[in-house]
Structure 1
């Protein structure tokens, strides 16, 4: 009988501890962590791009794992194509970075990716949905869809994006963006 009482007391203490831990922490952040916060914050401020959007794109592209390379050749955290990365460095007048450094250095990759997001935002008049689609499919394709009336660039018509990969990509980025905004008070 005493052993049973001790087990109940221990169980009650354990449940109480877990409950206190649960209520006093942002436990959802365990499931939706954001890595490289300082780098994202710095580039976000520098280029005036929403840090949660940057984090969402990184989450979808690489899940915060550096040194990733896609089958198509996109590299680093933000999965930049080498030609796009070279174009960004030229346009933004950012000192040239080797592709190997761009692949392995989170800060430089986030800098170039964030500059590109700012550029896409300007191209699409601040429309974040079109900007996300263009980050995946390219601005030429998205402009073509918009010009030809295939897609109107709105959240409500994401289902009309003609490329399944891009449609799914936009949905995933928006999902993570909403999760991050709900979970984290500030960046």
Structure 2
């Protein structure tokens, strides 16, 4: 065997070793990335389930605050129970199963899926609005009375989005 063919064989062997090393490093990096994505997905799933439980608790509080037997109270209770059940099922499944179930439900029941999403959005916005800190006595944070556009003090804060009743006296 000539020295050139021997050198070529050595180079070929080193190249194959380098390819194997790079391939193994790429597999390790992909495995690490996959594990990190899975961990973040699980954390997000657990956070979602926690938020769903919190929303269900808020719905139950709202149901308790409205008149007994009212349609709103019944609706809030029903939503709270359904949301709590859904949160429990989310916690018990892996992320890919959840995505598959949601996708299948949306595909089979598009009206129910969209209606549920709209109802959930409505309920969340109502609770967000209800949980805002009320302003007491028409005073701003500095302790001064809020003034209406006409200059008289009100017992509630002026809201420019609420139309005022204007009378034409002349």
Question: Whose RCO is larger (CA < 8 A, sep 6+)?
Answer: 1
Question: Do the two structures share a fold, i.e. TM-score over 0.5?
Answer: no
Normalised to the residue count of structure 1, the TM-score between the two structures is: 0.29
Higher gyration radius (CA): 2
